Amino acid sequence: MKYNSTILGYEGDKDRIPYIDKFLSNNQNFKIGDLNFLAIFVPGHTKGHIAFFLEKEKVVFTGDTLFSLGCGRVFEGTNEQMFDSISKIKNLPEETDIYCGHEYTKKNLEFCIKYEPNNEYLQKKKDWVNARIIRKLPTVPITVREELMTNIFLRCNEQSVKKALNLKNSSELEIFVKLRDLKDNF
C-alpha cells in the first residue's frame, strides 16, 4: 500500500472487502496512538458499516449512517437495521460531536422543514446554516443534542412528525420507513 496505513474494518466484511488489516467487532475497544475508540456496528447503509466513538473526547465518526439533519440511504441493509443504527447514535451522550461522511446539511434542512415547519429549533438552524454557507464555513460537526431537536429521522416519536405524515398511530419504525422513502425521492 502506498501510505503503509493500517486498514480497519468490520469482522463481517472479512470475505467481502480486501486488504483489511484489523477486524473489529461490535462494541470492541481499540487504540490509535493515544486515542481510545469504540467500534459501533451500524448496518443499514452497508452491511458492515461501523461508527467510531471516542468516549473521553465525546466524538463520533458516523460515516454514512447519520448526517446533519439526515441519515444515509439504505443500500445493502434494511430500513430496520438503519433505524436501529441511528438509534445507537441517538443514545450517545448529548454533548457528543458528530462528524459525518458528507455535508448534506442544506438539502437535509429543506427536507426536515417541509415535514416539520413549526419546529422552532429548525427555524433557528436554518438561519445558522445559511449564515455558515454565506461565510463558506462548514455546518459540521453537530452535537447529538442538536440532532435530537432538529433531525426528523431522530424524531420519529414526535406527534408533530406523525401528524405531518398522516400516520398518527404508527410506530417509530413505520415513521422512519416513510421518511426514508420520502427522502429518497426528495
> For residue range 79-115, what is the model confidence (pLDDT) as tens digits?
999 999 999 999 999 999 999 999 999 999 999 999 9
Quick check: 89 and 82 in contact, CB under 8 A?
no
What is the per-residue pLDDT for 148?
A: 98
What is the per-residue pLDDT for 1?
A: 60
* Parent domain of 120: 8-184
In a domain, 25, yes or no: yes
In a domain, 1, yes or no: no
What is the per-residue pLDDT for 2?
A: 78
In a domain, 2, yes or no: no
In a domain, 3, yes or no: no
- State the CATH number of the domain containing residue 146: 3.60.15.10
Query: What is the signed CA dihedral for 97, 100, 104, 108, rounded to 10 degrees?
Result: -60
User: pLDDT digit string (tens) for 11-69?
Assistant: 999 999 999 999 999 999 999 999 999 999 999 999 999 999 999 999 999 999 999 99
Q: Indicate the angle between helix axes 79-90 and 172-184, nearest 10 degrees.
A: 110
Question: Into how many domains does the chain fold?
Answer: 1
